[in-house]
Amino acid sequence: MQDPAIRLMVMLMETGSFEEAANATLRVMLELTEQALAATRYGRHGRIIRGMIHLRPEEGYRGLAVLEAGAAARPSGAAGKADGTAGMVTPLLASATAWQLMVEHRCAISIDVNLGLLTPHMAGAAPLGESELGPAGRAFNSAESQQRFLGRQATHVGVLPLLGPGRVLHGMISLEAECPAATGQEFIWRECGERLQLLASQATPYLIALPPRPSEQAGDKYLPVVGASLASLLPALKVFARQEETLLISGPTGVGKSRLARWCHEQSSRQREAFEVLDLMTVPEDLQMAELFGWKKGAFTGAVRDNPGAMTRAEGGTLFIDEIDKLSLKAQAGLLHVLEERTYRMLGENGAERRADVRFIIGTNANLQTSVRAGRFREDLYYRIKVLPIALPALKDRQDEIARWARYMADRRHRERYPEGQVRLTGAAERLLTTQPWPGNLRQLDNIVRRAYALALVDSGETAQALTLEVHHFQQSLSYESDPAAQPLTEVLSTAARAFVSEAQARGPGAIDLDLADSFRGFVLAVATRRLGRDEAFRLFGRESLIKSRNHSRTLRREVERLEALYKALGLADCPFSDLVEGGSDSEG
Ligand SMILES: Nc1ncnc2c1ncn2[C@@H]1O[C@H](COP(=O)(O)OP(=O)(O)OP(=O)(O)O)[C@@H](O)[C@H]1O
């Protein structure tokens, strides 16, 4: 029989997509393992079940493929369509523990499912089966992982790293076998580990470089626009959405993480139950536990009645926890407990723990690995939530979507007004949008479209059933973004508020008191005093009575003192408005 490495090489050279390369790789690997099994004493007692490729460079999945032994390759995306059952879906989950070990050691791992043991094997000379880390190995991180393999009859799993140049880890290949008679034994991995690793290394450049097979994925209500990059994530997403495992969606702000979480909920069997959102950006640290788990009357000062938390509200459904990196270390321990034990207790509650029938989706725009390294995020929780990671790219990396999103957003807005109406963007308008950098991603695009739509509506006399958004509408709309003075006051104020909150976060809890936000009044009065002189400034803001009662200088002093307190809290020596009261300056002169 032809050497498997040569056979694979020939097959790989014919491939044009990730799915084809995965298919070829798994086919050759499964044949090799089947032959190796037949040659051992387990030959008649065991069988090879399937192989899987998980392409997950850095933060998220890029490709997922499964091949049942003896069957034609069925890439994950086609799985549901191919047989129309959920049966193909379940095998597509990897072992989170195996991935964690692989990230740590970049080597092959053998799993003895019945013993619940994962043994890493140093790469290079030693084939699978010769552990240099000792025979002990590591237990599954969670009973669920072990159950998952047991549920699909696997007793032995061999996991191989997909290593690129420089030993960069791009993913893993896992091969599942059923052979209860070999429980506690080395199985066949010693026989064929080295040859399998060679095949994996041969396939890696193809698996990482070839594009996903183009998909004709049409959008739906929750995911109205699916461009090339999203289409390549969809096969994995569709599988992940239907799992009970925690899903991690990362990506810059405004790329649509919350909407994607909602989409996943709608794809799952929990779609008729609650979809609950807990945005940690809006919850002060000391209230996180309470918001998450709820509380019983008397649990703390101010807890005057029982209050269900997000967990209880999401019971039976999905809980989307956004901005997970904001979770305090204490609340991280609480969340880890729920994820591992599936039980929790409301604050102040005695007695048995409650069962948590909740599917978690986690969102973040931070690099959690950096947070782990900085000691702000628990490593065990990081790996627990990173079982199914999806990284949503920034809008600038989804060029093909920009015009489609803009059309969708304009259309949605127009139909609210004229259900039968029609709206279009000119080609020039679409080209303009495609060349913008979009640091605020979809959220920013939505704002721009909203303004351009309003401008076009004004142009048309607000009566147009059929409306055209021209390039100048977008130019004007975009100019508001770059010129703060041209922005509506509410937007400027909310930008300032965001900056205030970011500064407070950077400096840590308590460094900037909320009362210092009142200093905005001081800024307004100080700027007006500089511009107009003190009396005029008070008049401008309808405070003539203070001038009459001669209380205006006291008021100005109080406001400037507040400004000075803010400057001090920020560690800035001089407040540039102090002179307005010190020297009794009345105008800017
Ligand atoms: N599927 C969608 N349908 C309609 N609009 C969308 C969709 N996805 C994103 N948007 C637009 O983008 C905005 C941001 O989306 P979303 O809140 O999901 O992003 P995010 O990544 O969760 O942001 P953040 O990190 O700031 O929480 C939405 O308010 C909406 O205007």
Answer whether 337's CB lies under 8 Å from 344's CB: yes
Domain match, 189 and 297 both: no
Q: What percent of the chain clears pLDDT 90, i.e. is strictly above it? A: 45
Nearest-atom number in ligand 1 for the CA of 251 is 21
Q: Ligand 1 center to residue 120 CA distance, Å? A: 41
Q: 409 or 460: whose pLDDT is higher? A: 409
Q: In the structure, what pLDDT confidence band is assigned to residue 125 with cuts at 50, 70 and 90?
A: very low
Q: In the structure, what pLDDT confidence band is assigned to residue 334 with cuts at 50, 70 and 90?
A: very high
Domain match, 137 and 179 both: yes
CATH of the domain at 72: 3.30.450.40
Domain match, 366 and 439 both: no
pLDDT tens for each residue of 488-527: 677 778 778 877 887 888 788 888 888 888 889 999 999 8
Q: Ligand 1 center to residue 211 CA distance, Å? A: 26
In this prediction, residue 585 carries a pLDDT of 41
Per-residue DSSP letter, 349: -
Which residue minimizes the CA distance to atom 9 of ligand 1? 256
Q: Ligand 1 center to residue 109 CA distance, Å? A: 39
CATH of the domain at 429: 1.10.8.60
Q: In the structure, what pLDDT confidence band is assigned to residue 486 with cuts at 50, 70 and 90?
A: low
As for how many domains the chain has, the answer is 4
Compute the C-alpha angle 382/346/288, nearest 5°. 50
Per-residue DSSP letter, 58: T
Q: Ligand 1 center to residue 446 CA distance, Å? A: 9
DSSP result, 130-177? --SS-TT-EE-SSHHHHHHHHHTT-SEEEEEEEEEGGGEEEEEEEEEE
Q: Ligand 1 center to residue 274 CA distance, Å? A: 19
Q: Between β-strands 388-391 and 359-364, what pairing exists: parallel, antiparallel or unpaired?
A: unpaired
Per-residue DSSP letter, 41: T
- Answer yes or no: is pLDDT of 135 > 70: no
Instruction: Say if 387 falls within a structural domain.
Output: yes
Tokens 């997509």 appear where? 17
Nearest-atom number in ligand 1 for the CA of 441 is 12
Question: 230: which 2 tokens?
Answer: 């999203």
What is the rounded distance in angstroms from the CA atom of residue 151 to the CA atom of residue 500? 51
pLDDT tens for each residue of 431-463: 999 999 999 999 999 999 999 998 898 888 767
Domain match, 372 and 428 both: no
Answer whether 104's CB lies under 8 Å from 121's CB: no
Q: What percent of the chain clears pLDDT 70, i.e. is strictly above it? A: 89
In this prediction, residue 222 carries a pLDDT of 86
Instruction: Say if 59 falls within a structural domain.
Output: yes
In this prediction, residue 525 carries a pLDDT of 92
Which residue minimizes the CA distance to atom 1 of ligand 1? 223
Which residue minimizes the CA distance to atom 15 of ligand 1? 256
- Residue 405: name the closest of 378, 430, 369 by CA: 430
Of 249, 250, 259, which is best to mutate to test ligand 1, by the most ligand atoms within 8 angstroms of its C-beta? 259
Instruction: Say if 257 falls within a structural domain.
Output: yes
Q: Ligand 1 center to residue 51 CA distance, Å? A: 36
- Answer yes or no: is pLDDT of 217 > 60: yes
Task: Report CA-CA distances (Å) from 463 to 41, 359, 370, 384, 448.
Answer: 82, 46, 53, 54, 21
Question: 141: which 2 tokens?
Answer: 């991180």
Domain match, 94 and 118 both: yes
- Residue 49: name the closest of 65, 71, 64 by CA: 71
If you average pLDDT over residues 400-428, what whole number do you get?
92
- Answer yes or no: is pLDDT of 76 > 80: no
- Answer yes or no: is pLDDT of 122 > 60: no
Of 282, 443, 444, 450, which is best to mutate to test ligand 1, by the most ligand atoms within 8 angstroms of its C-beta? 443
Residue 422, phi then psi, degrees to nearest 5: -135, 140
Q: Ligand 1 center to residue 407 CA distance, Å? A: 16
**Boundary residue ending a domain (209, 239, 257):** 209
Compute the C-alpha angle 108/44/129, nearest 5°. 20
Domain match, 314 and 356 both: yes
Instruction: Say if 317 falls within a structural domain.
Output: yes
Domain match, 371 and 426 both: no
Which residue minimizes the CA distance to atom 10 of ligand 1? 256
Question: Could you tell me which residues come within 8 angstroms of residue 478 by beta carbon, excluding any fewer than 6 positions away?
Answer: 432, 436, 448
- Answer yes or no: is pLDDT of 331 > 50: yes
Nearest-atom number in ligand 1 for the CA of 446 is 31
Per the document, the length of the chain is 589
CATH of the domain at 303: 3.40.50.300
Which residue minimizes the CA distance to atom 25 of ligand 1? 253
Instruction: Say if 479 falls within a structural domain.
Output: yes
In this prediction, residue 507 carries a pLDDT of 82
Q: 26 or 499: whose pLDDT is higher? A: 26
Which secondary-structure segment (H or E) carries 294?
strand 294-295
Tokens 């195996």 appear where? 98
Domain match, 433 and 526 both: no
**Boundary residue ending a domain (471, 487, 503):** 487
What is the rounded distance in angstroms from the CA atom of residue 481 to the CA atom of residue 491? 10
Q: Ligand 1 center to residue 444 CA distance, Å? A: 10
Domain match, 257 and 130 both: no
Residue 533's domain comprises: 495-582
In this prediction, residue 485 carries a pLDDT of 61
- Answer yes or no: is pLDDT of 24 > 90: yes
Instruction: Say if 541 falls within a structural domain.
Output: yes
Of 230, 234, 258, 361, which is best to mutate to test ligand 1, by the most ligand atoms within 8 angstroms of its C-beta? 258
Question: 225: which 2 tokens?
Answer: 């626009």
Domain match, 89 and 12 both: yes
Instruction: Say if 589 falls within a structural domain.
Output: no
Nearest-atom number in ligand 1 for the CA of 225 is 1
Give the chain's count of helices (H) and strands (E): 23, 19
Q: Ligand 1 center to residue 238 CA distance, Å? A: 19
What is the rounded distance in angstroms from the CA atom of residue 568 to the CA atom of residue 527? 19
Q: Ligand 1 center to residue 357 CA distance, Å? A: 27
**Boundary residue ending a domain (467, 487, 507):** 487
Domain match, 241 and 366 both: yes
CA 491, 497, 501, 507 dihedral sign is: positive
Which residue minimizes the CA distance to atom 23 of ligand 1? 254
If you average pLDDT over residues 43-69, what whole number do you get?
87
Residue 60, phi then psi, degrees to nearest 5: -150, 165
Q: Ligand 1 center to residue 271 CA distance, Å? A: 20
What is the rounded distance in angstroms from the CA atom of residue 324 to the CA atom of residue 332? 9
Q: Is 560 helix (H, G, I), strand (E, B) or coil?
A: helix
pLDDT tens for each residue of 158-186: 999 999 888 899 999 999 999 999 898 88
What is the rounded distance in angstroms from the CA atom of residue 478 to the CA atom of residue 472? 10
The C-alpha R_g of the chain, in whole angstroms, comes to 30
Question: 72: which 2 tokens?
Answer: 């034609």
Q: Ligand 1 center to residue 320 CA distance, Å? A: 14
Tokens 């994996």 appear where? 200
Q: In the structure, what pLDDT confidence band is assigned to residue 420 with cuts at 50, 70 and 90?
A: confident
Q: Ligand 1 center to residue 147 CA distance, Å? A: 36
What is the rounded distance in angstroms from the CA atom of residue 477 to the CA atom of residue 483? 11
Instruction: Say if 424 falls within a structural domain.
Output: yes
If you average pLDDT over residues 199-224, what whole number do you get?
85
Q: In the structure, what pLDDT confidence band is assigned to residue 1 with cuts at 50, 70 and 90?
A: low
In this prediction, residue 87 carries a pLDDT of 34
Domain match, 56 and 181 both: yes
Q: 300 or 205: whose pLDDT is higher? A: 205
- Answer yes or no: is pLDDT of 59 > 80: no
Nearest-atom number in ligand 1 for the CA of 259 is 18
Residues lining ligand 1, CB < 6 A?
A: 222-224, 251, 253-259, 322, 363, 365, 442-443, 446
Of 442, 448, 498, which is best to mutate to test ligand 1, by the most ligand atoms within 8 angstroms of its C-beta? 442
Question: 529: which 2 tokens?
Answer: 């005093």
